[in-house]
Structure 1
């Protein structure tokens, strides 16, 4: 009993799956690279803005004068107050001033990012303020993530140390970047769906000659090989269709020749058998001359049959590759 073939994926399904995997990988790679580049640019932009503000604060510290006394700043608290007045935070930026461990000045009420309302951030700012080092870093709290800078303030005439704290709400700044990535993902998914539909139609159209070949092969039987596949287009499938049609032509010719040969052989073998059978039926077994004559006729007809059988054997061997022994002629 012939075992039924196992069910496998169709060519269309395999081509479509491979194409979708390739397109998906390309979109994922491009999206990841774009996301990384945008996130890097965001980090650079925030750090550049914080660094620029720090430089402005250093210029104010080195060359600025107190508007009330028109002299150089003597108290860290006064310097921080003027610096806070001259600094305009961006929409997602907050600031405050520390004198010792106390929050002395905060941003105006119109500023949405309230650093003083985040205890974890304040704890970090107090822990990193140092009289000699500016600290730039990322702070994760339960409320959000900050990209912040802490600038220490220490004046020779003031025994109190302070710090100017400026921070971006990094999570809020990254939302736009994340939103762009989500839009990219949605567009990529839509592109994959459209590509899948287009590929399904295109591959189906490409495989149409294969389906016609399968249908034609199923219609071909031992007695009817006249079916042919319609040739359309001028691609590799069209060439395959022409090749299969030519093979069917050769097969039909071979089958026709085989049937003609069988008809001829049947006719040739039937004649001597009929002759032998007729003479044996009419032979008089008691007449030695009639027996001898019938014997001679039967031997002649059997000889003809033997020659015909030898010719058939030779014809069958003619299809073998070693039928002819080619040798160089002298």
Structure 2
């Protein structure tokens, strides 16, 4: 008697699964708060992650089921093949000569699993095989030993293993054919396994995992809702404060708690409010001062025009006074426009400039401002990146300021020097100097010193503001020092950006 054993593990078909897409948040035009959007994104990410974990777990469990079934089928067929080769008939003590007797003895000694069937099939008349089975009940709708058509298909199959897909349930099977010497196989040992209950247990485990994941998701969303509300509370305070701000009331500030990014946002917002409050206060003060300065010449012009008589001399004097006041108004307007332009990035246009030549040009122009003892001090012999027109304008303004606060014949010195990485251009006069209480205010717009240093000028208090704007436009500043022997020295302190010939500004 010869036997044919299974050549390999039974074939399997991977279970078909479908993954539903997670719903996306409402993409309409309705405004959604940051708190809700955070939770929606968190919900989406966690739902996708938990669903992926569940599907991956199911895939692993199903693969373990398939591997266990394959191992069981291989083990049973291997045991039968070994029994055929080494076993003997207990009645005769000799090898089996009858296939039916072989199957009967083997099946009497086996203990199948709950979902497993061990069946012997012997060819019968008409092609319908007779079966030999154990009295073993299976918890399935239609076991193999009750399905004659399925037994016939298994017995007639040329393969040694396979899968039967039936409306009453899938069957995984493997067989070992038995044949008498020199004849075609006329019997077979069949191992059939019904995987429905194993797969049902896997699906039950996955459902339990999904339920636990759903509960965890709800708990996470609830905790995230509370945490997001706590984190975003300062943002809502910022929004409320911004909504309540007006040009008349910029005093509201946001309380700062902690040292995280939200606290940094609150500090930044408070700093912005401080700058806005200072800017609006300066703007209101500027408007008030400008209105006051412009109102004075307008009042003078109107008064003289109203009182002007018919005499030629009186008319000529009135025209002269009116023209003088209009010229003063024009200078005020020009200075205001210049200060407004100082906020623009193109206020200064640096280019390579020879400082010594620039200082000498300023000295020549300043000598025409008044009968003073003008002196050119030593100059810095270097090339720097400056706006020559703006620097000239600032230095001439300082020279004009020195003329207004000195008397004829007094000394005014102009010079420049390099001090390490700084460039200093200065105008020093020999007048009465600046009072200590006036040191900080004279550079503000429309502000003059409390005690004038010399003859009264016709300025509106914008000259030194323009000088400071030009210095700051060059990333420098204006310094006020006393002049040895009496007087005031105004110095433009600028970065000494040396620019070789041919370099762009």
Q: How does 1:82-93 map to 2 (within 5 A)?
A: 82-93=105-116
Question: 1:189 deviation in Å?
Answer: 2.4
SS in 1 for 2:271: helix
| Matched-pair contact (CA < 8 Å) for 1:74–1:156 | no
Q: What does residue 251 of structure 2 align with? A: 226
- State the distance in 2 between where 1:157 and 1:71 align: 20
| Matched-pair contact (CA < 8 Å) for 1:93–1:167 | yes
- State the distance in 2 between where 1:138 and 1:111 align: 18
Q: How does 1:1-330 map to 2 (within 5 A)?
A: 6-100=29-123, 101-112=128-139, 114-128=143-157, 135-156=160-181, 161-283=186-308, 285-327=309-351, 328=353, 329=355, 330=382
Q: 1:7 to 1:148 in 2, by over 3 A?
A: same
SS in 2 for 1:226: coil
SS in 2 for 1:71: coil
Question: 1:109 deviation in Å?
Answer: 4.1
Moved over 6 A (4+): 157-160
- State the distance in 2 between where 1:255 and 1:107 align: 100
Q: What CA deviation, in whole Å up to 9, does each residue of 1:64-111 have, x standing for no partner?
A: 222233332221111111111111111111222211133332221445
| TM-score, normalising length: structure 2 | 0.59
| Matched-pair contact (CA < 8 Å) for 2:88–2:95 | yes
Question: 1:63 deviation in Å?
Answer: 1.8
- State the distance in 2 between where 1:282 and 1:125 align: 130
Q: Which has the higher contact order (CA 8 A, sep 6+)?
A: 1
SS in 2 for 1:218: helix
Q: 1:118 to 1:170 in 2, by over 3 A?
A: same
Q: What CA deviation, in whole Å up to 9, does each residue of 1:35-68 have, x standing for no partner?
A: 2222111111111112111122122212222223
Q: What does residue 24 of structure 2 align with? A: none
Question: 1:289 deviation in Å?
Answer: 3.5
Q: CA RMSD in A?
A: 2.4
Highest CA radius of gyration, 1 or 2? Answer: 2
| Matched-pair contact (CA < 8 Å) for 2:294–2:329 | yes
- State the distance in 2 between where 1:217 and 1:159 align: 95
The range that moved more, 207-216 or 156-165, is: 156-165
Q: 1:86 to 1:136 in 2, by over 3 A?
A: same
Alignment coverage as a number of residue pairs: 320
| Matched-pair contact (CA < 8 Å) for 2:131–2:145 | no
Point out where structure 2 has 5 or more consecutive residues left out of the alignment: 1-28, 356-381, 383-505
Question: 1:125 deviation in Å?
Answer: 1.8
- State the distance in 1 between where 2:117 and 2:139 align: 7
Q: 1:102 to 1:120 in 2, by over 3 A?
A: closer
Q: 1:124 to 1:173 in 2, by over 3 A?
A: farther
SS in 2 for 1:87: coil
The range that moved more, 312-321 or 6-15, is: 6-15
SS in 2 for 1:319: coil
- State the distance in 1 between where 2:261 and 2:149 align: 70
Q: 1:141 to 1:217 in 2, by over 3 A?
A: same
- State the distance in 2 between where 1:166 and 1:58 align: 12
SS in 2 for 1:65: coil
Question: 1:181 deviation in Å?
Answer: 1.6
Point out where structure 1 has 5 or more consecutive residues left out of the alignment: 1-5
Q: What CA deviation, in whole Å up to 9, does each residue of 1:121-158 have, x standing for no partner?
A: 22322322x6xx7x122211121111111221223399
- State the distance in 1 between where 2:223 and 2:178 align: 65
